[in-house]
């Protein structure tokens, strides 16, 4: 399929990009790597009047150390994430999840920010952003605002980004203390989307679990935190029995769909099993 005709803009700064969006007419789409946008345009499920290509906005690409947090530009590709030493040191959970995303070709073009802005509940990186308490830095005509990941994902393929706004960068607080992390993904074949996945970050203190943060992929219309399991783990023994009991609550508060890949009750089962595995590994068991 061939997309409908569109005007094309290729800004080089965030300011130029915002201007190009404002000037682009009724229906403007920004393009990161085009990995989700181009297929949708080819199917004519989207037919924007203007495409604003962010590929030359270099200030939106790369990773920097900002003291207590890493700042990852929205245009940082999945490949860039996988080879970045700062992310390897301070956000290994993001590395583990990104390794499971698609194949080399998609990882070479697809971006961290594009994946988050696309907000597919089967996407692997949103659950990681939730588990790491990331913050989204959003630019618009009125300036910049920062939104916690917990408030960014609003519904299926929907974020809190308003028309004309850009996700510019993502702040990922560094984990301080005795943290372990693990991303557990269940898919039918290698390199496929998650049927369910779990991103776990666990802080241990004196043989106990002081804090657990658990993001769930594909257990509802948005990525979710496994809040009942997190609450059950706070202060619990770092033992296999305590983790298994807490993981039994992983599907509470979720609303997975049934589709050709899995029924909802099977997804709930997967959430419990993968949470037990992810938390056990993150806790060092």
Ligand X SMILES: Cc1cc2nc3c(=O)[nH]c(=O)nc-3n(C[C@H](O)[C@H](O)[C@H](O)COP(=O)(O)OP(=O)(O)OC[C@H]3O[C@@H](n4cnc5c(N)ncnc54)[C@H](O)[C@@H]3O)c2cc1C
Is residue 111 near ligand X by the rule CB under 6 A? Answer: yes
* Partners of residue 53 on adjacent β-strands: 31
Chosen residue from 11, 24, 121, 123 binding ligand X by CB under 6 A: 123
d(CA 125, CA 6): 30
For residue 30, what is the enclosing H or E element?
A: strand 28-31
Closest contact distance (angstroms) between CB of 33 and ligand X is 3
Give the residue with the Cβ less far from ligand X, 121 or 180: 121
Closest contact distance (angstroms) between CB of 38 and ligand X is 7
DSSP label at 102? Answer: S
d(CA 230, CA 246): 8
x/- contact string, 206-225, with ligand X (CB under 6 A)?
A: --------------------
What token pair was written down for 241? 């029995």
Is residue 29 near ligand X by the rule CB under 6 A? Answer: yes
Residues contacting 217, CB < 8 A, separation 6+ = 121, 122, 123, 124, 126, 127, 185, 194, 196, 197, 198, 199, 223
Residues 31-60 contacting ligand X, CB under 6 A? 31-37, 54
Q: Given the rule CB under 6 A, which of 18-26, 122-130, 172-180, 254-262 is the region that contacts ligand X? A: 122-130
Give the residue with the Cβ less far from ligand X, 30 or 243: 30
Return the number of other C-beta atoms located less than 10 Å from residue 58's C-beta.
Answer: 11
Give the residue with the Cβ less far from ligand X, 182 or 249: 182
State the residues that interact with ligand X by CB under 6 A.
29-37, 54, 74, 101-102, 106, 109-111, 113-115, 117-118, 123-125, 161, 166-167, 193
């Amino acid at each position: 399929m061939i997309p409908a005709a569109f005007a094309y803009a290729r800004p080089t700064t965030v300011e130029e990009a915002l201007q190009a969006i404002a000037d682009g007419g009724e229906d403007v789409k920004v393009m990161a790597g085009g990995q989700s946008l181009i297929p949708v345009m080819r199917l004519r499920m989207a037919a924007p009047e203007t495409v604003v290509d962010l590929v030359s906005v270099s200030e939106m690409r790369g990773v920097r150390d900002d003291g207590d947090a890493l700042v990852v530009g929205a245009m940082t590709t999945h490949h860039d994430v996988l080879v970045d030493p700062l992310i390897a040191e301070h956000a290994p959970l993001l590395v583990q999840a990104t390794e499971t995303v698609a194949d080399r070709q998609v990882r070479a073009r697809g971006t961290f920010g594009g994946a988050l802005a696309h907000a597919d509940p089967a996407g692997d990186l949103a659950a990681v952003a939730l588990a790491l308490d990331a913050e989204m830095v959003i630019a618009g005509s009125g300036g910049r605002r920062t939104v916690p990941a917990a408030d960014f994902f609003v519904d299926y393929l929907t974020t809190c980004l308003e028309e004309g706004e850009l996700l510019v960068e993502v702040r990922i607080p560094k984990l301080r203390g005795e943290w372990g992390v693990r991303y557990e993904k269940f898919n039918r074949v290698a390199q496929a989307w998650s049927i369910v996945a779990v991103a776990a970050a666990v802080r241990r203190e004196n043989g106990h679990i002081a804090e657990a943060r658990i993001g769930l992929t594909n257990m509802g219309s948005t990525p979710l935190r496994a809040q009942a399991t997190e609450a059950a783990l706070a202060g619990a023994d770092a033992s296999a029995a305590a983790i298994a009991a807490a993981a039994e609550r992983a599907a509470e508060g979720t609303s997975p769909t049934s589709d050709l890949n899995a029924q909802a009750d099977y997804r709930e089962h997967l959430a419990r099993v993968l949470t037990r595995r992810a938390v056990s590994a993150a806790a060092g068991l």
